Amino acid sequence: MKKIPVIPVLAGTLAIAASSQAQQNTAIPSVDPHTTETKAQRDIRMKWWREARFGMFIHWGLYALPAGEWRSQRSTGGFSAGAGEWLMHDVKIPVADYAALAPKFNPQQFDADTWVSIAKAAGMRYIVMTAKHHEGFAMYHSQADPYNIYDATPFKRDPIAEMGAACKKVGLKFGVYYSQAQDWHQPGGAAYGGHWDPAQDGDLHAYVKNVAAPQVTELLTKYHPAILWWDTPVDMSPEDIRSLTAAFSQDPQLIANNRLGNGVAGDTQTPEQTIPANGYPGKDWETCMTINHTWGYKTNDLDFKSSTNLLHNLIDIASKGGNYLLNVGPDARGIIPEPEVKRLQVMGTWLKANGDSIYATAASPYKRQPADWRYTVKGNKLYLNVFSWPDDGLTIAGLQTPVKGATVLATGQKLAVTKDAQGTLSLSRPTTLDAVSTTIELVLSGPPVVMEPVLVIQPQRDGNYQLGATTATLEGNTISLEGPEGRNNIGYWTNNQDALSWRVSTPNAGTSQYAVQLEYSCEPGSEGSTFAVFVDGNASGVTGTITPTNGWDDYRTMTLNGTLSLTSGMHTIRIVPKSKPGLAVMNFRTMQLKPVTP
Ligand code: FHN
């Protein structure tokens, strides 16, 4: 896990302003606006969203003006790892001082059609824009609170309305992000870690009733967004939920995410800055991610992901059945930073030629994704997006459905398909390979049916076993492969229910003993996790406790307690966390089994 501006979305476990009284609510069931919906109705409502696969997230607010710096002070840590939109919180700026930014905010170069055309040219099918972030400043003409871009700035325009109209013109769906609990301006609005200015003190539920709920209602009834993107729920009571969703009944097609709070499921899972190893099978999910490290504009965050990395993320996410909500952070003039625009242009060019392998596709039929390519499915078509063509040729194991033909999507070149005695297919190598990903379209005689090939780790010549990140079965939704091209290590092990496992074959007769060495990293402050190694479901007696390294990128090797016994045959070896006092169990790279002579 890298130090990232991901805020664990904690419901109700945060210290918020002491003055917010626990409300003696009568038992009002938490409202999930779509609880009575049938599967067929839900499939109709979610259809456009599932086919879209790729959207633009826009974080734009007063924070674009200071752009990460306040009176030569920069926010570097705390809850947001220095994200631009968290400046007021991280630097503890008094409410009145921060609000003095509003009269200076006049983004005259903002042009909704320009932003929308950038998204459309990138191949994005929808846009979600911040209507009000934690700073409490509304980016639309709110009747519920004069602290907004129309009433409190010389700009006197309504960007949310303009963006909605611009999207409609070109057929993009438009959604709004709303911070329903955190509001660092209004009395009673929540703040992670508590208030820093008495002006913020007040009752959270009164704030929701008098500000947040009226704003959500006016957003839904006046702007009719296709998506409502809640964020950072804090102590949401059933009454808060009911008032915040009061207008849902007016738009049965509205899609809302899973961050409202109080156990409301919502429509979409929202992993942030990470791609879950196995997606969320059977659920709609969307990875939201920054192009650099900040959501809101900062002058000094120039560490932009490459367009290749961004496209590989999109392909990887689509292969797991998810959407990619990629963020841009416009500056105080209303301009999307050029490095972000350039990357989106490259993504759009690739998608123009290969988008059939992304849009309206379903997840790979295989549970395990090959190292060098990803699968997606659309009816009788199986797509391969090949990041790098294997030196020893590209083979497909386990595909039971006959292949009628193979074509390079971008060039139309037909590829030869041969099958060996075991039914494994080989594809001829294309004449030209795309530097980012070469898309192959296999037309099958029907929807693909596969027999999942079981990956069995054999001992190396020296008898050692190398159990690595890319050969592990990742058990759980949070744990993920990450690092360069997602092949460097296991990260985001923030859920101690998640585990890693491997199938190994021990050809030696009798029982062999192994010392176990772990290559891992752990940021100081997250250490202390304990874990055990299981063989075929039984505790092996091998255990370990994570000690800190110098950071998530600093790996070291430690020898675990105990030795592992393996009889001849096939075994499943699992690493199972037993406790996790810190944020994550560890970053995992390899576990080595080294034979010990008895
Ligand atoms: O605190 C916010 C953060 O500023 C940003 O808006 C992200 C985007 O998903 N959501 C919260 C962190 O999870």
Q: Residue 244, SS3?
A: helix
Task: Please tell me the residue having the least CA distance from ligand 1 atom 13.
Answer: 7
Pocket of ligand 1 (CB under 6 A): 6-7, 9, 80, 83, 85-86, 231-232, 272, 288, 295
How confident is the model at residue 486, as a pLDDT?
53
Which architecture characterizes domain 37-357 according to CATH?
A: Alpha-Beta Barrel (3.20)
Tell the CATH superfamily of the 456-595 domain.
Galactose-binding domain-like (2.60.120.260)
Nearest residue to 323 via CA among 373, 280, 369: 280
Is there a common fold for 373-444 and 456-595? no
How confident is the model at residue 28, as a pLDDT?
40
Q: Output the DSSP codes for 458-517.
A: PP-TTS-EEEESTTSEEESSS-EEESGGG-SEEE----TT-EEEEEEEEEEEEEEEEEEE
For the whole model, what pTM was predicted?
Answer: 0.84
With b for 16 or more beta-carbon neighbours within 10 A and e for fewer, the 233-266 pattern comes to: bbbbbbbbbbbbbbbbeeeeebbbbbbbbbebeb
How confident is the model at residue 453, as a pLDDT?
81
- Domain positions in the chain are 37-357, 373-444, 456-595
In the block, residue with structure tokens 């105080």: 332
Task: Please tell me the residue having the least CA distance from ligand 1 atom 12.
Answer: 7
Going by DSSP bridges, is the β-strand pair 227-231/173-179 parallel, antiparallel, or unpaired? parallel
Question: What is the full per-residue pLDDT of the chain (598 aa) written as tens digits?
Answer: 554 333 333 333 333 332 333 333 333 444 566 777 889 999 999 999 999 999 999 999 999 999 999 999 887 666 677 899 999 999 999 999 999 999 999 999 999 999 999 999 999 999 999 999 999 999 999 999 999 999 999 999 999 999 999 999 999 999 999 999 999 999 999 999 999 999 999 999 999 999 999 999 999 999 999 999 999 999 999 999 999 999 988 888 999 999 999 888 899 999 999 998 889 989 999 999 999 999 999 999 999 999 999 999 999 999 999 999 999 999 999 999 999 999 999 999 999 999 999 999 999 999 888 889 999 999 999 999 999 999 889 999 999 999 999 999 999 999 999 999 889 999 999 999 999 999 999 999 999 999 988 889 999 988 999 999 988 998 987 888 875 555 578 998 999 999 999 999 998 778 899 999 999 999 999 999 999 999 999 999 999 999 999 998 899 999 999 999 999 999 999 999 999 999 999 999 999 999 997 6
Query: What is the best residue among 272, 290, 324 to mutate for testing ligand 1's pocket, by most ligand atoms within 8 Å of CB?
Result: 272
Whole-number Å distance, alpha carbon 177 to ligand 1 midpoint, is 10
Residue type (1 letter), 315:
I
Please say whether the beta carbons of 242 and 248 come within 8 A.
no
Nearest residue to 540 via CA among 519, 567, 558, 518: 567
Which phi and psi angles does 542 have, rounded to 5°? Answer: -90, 125
Q: Kindly list the distances between the CA atom of residue 545 and the CA atoms of 31, 142, 426, 475, 542, in Å, as whole numbers in the listed order.
A: 43, 53, 45, 20, 11
Q: Residue 392, SS3?
A: coil
Q: Residue 16, SS3?
A: coil
How confident is the model at residue 1, as a pLDDT?
56
Going by DSSP bridges, is the β-strand pair 438-444/381-386 parallel, antiparallel, or unpaired? antiparallel
Terminal CA-CA length for the chain = 38
CB atoms within 10 A of CB 40: 8
Whole-number Å distance, alpha carbon 267 to ligand 1 midpoint, is 18
How confident is the model at residue 367, as a pLDDT?
85
CB atoms within 10 A of CB 410: 17
Which architecture characterizes domain 373-444 according to CATH?
A: Sandwich (2.60)
How confident is the model at residue 33, as a pLDDT?
60
Please list the alpha-helical segments (H only) found in 74-207. Answer: 87-90, 95-99, 112-121, 159-170, 204-207
